[in-house]
Structure formats: C-alpha cells, structure tokens
Structure 1
Amino acid sequence: MNLYNQANGAERQRITKKVKEWFTETAHADGWDQVGFLPEVESEHGAGCILYKSFGSSRGDNIVKKLSSD
C-alpha cells in the first residue's frame, strides 16, 4: 500500500481493484512476469502480493538496472 500511496499521492488502506490494476501494470512495466495477490484468510481482505520472474525472460532488464543503480 505504501508503494501505491507514494506513487499516487493517496492514502488507501486496502488492496482494492484499482490498486491491484495499478500494481500489476507497474510490476509488468518493471519487468515482472506475473503478479499474484493473496487473500487474508480471516478477514478476506488483501494480505499482499507475490511477484514472479521467469528466468531467461527478457523482461528482467528493468529490474537489473534498478538494482544496479541503488
């Protein structure tokens, strides 16, 4: 939620459809191959996100550049 709020000047508290769409688009643009959202079992709200990267995929160039610059 912090990433979304910082990027969008928002103060969202929950992982809504809009947040999921933004996060998925941003992750794909940054080179992640798949994005999966996890439900919080007790409350059924979003518990977080898992990013998947397929080795050998050319989409990882942005990730490597970002890690190198940090």
Structure 2
Amino acid sequence: MRIRVDLDLCQGHSVCIDEAPEVFSVEDQVDDYPKVKVLNFNPSAELQNQVRLAARYCPNKVITLIEDNE
C-alpha cells in the first residue's frame, strides 16, 4: 500500500491522526489550515487497516490509497 495526500484539499481536521498516529502527523499551518504530514508512505501490514480507516473517515477525502496489487 502507498499513500497519496491532496494537500490543496486538506483542512487539518486531524481525523487521520486519530486513526493512524504512526503514519500521519500535522505540519505547521500552511495557508489557512494546518496540513497533514505523512510519516510513512508505505505502511506495514500491521498499520494498513488503520490507514484505511483514516482515508475512509477523512472529512475532505484527501487521502488516496494505492494498493500493492494495482
């Protein structure tokens, strides 16, 4: 699994951090909002379920997941 984030749409709600703190963090404020920072673009199998939840619950749907089999 690989992670892609659209920083133009991110508004810093931090839901991703709640779901997968080992993978996501928040950058300092950029423009009007703090932005997500990806700490690990290729999460281990143990973290992938949390990353899927982060993508699912992101209010602005800024997280795209590319599965290894694609």
* TM-score in terms of structure 1 length: 0.34
| Structure whose alpha-carbon radius of gyration is higher | 1
Greater relative contact order (Cα 8 A, min sep 6): structure 1 or 2? 2
Q: Give the structure with the larger helix fraction.
A: 1
Q: As a proportion of its length, which structure holds more strand?
A: 2
When the two structures are superposed, what TM-score results if normalisation uses the length of structure 2? 0.34
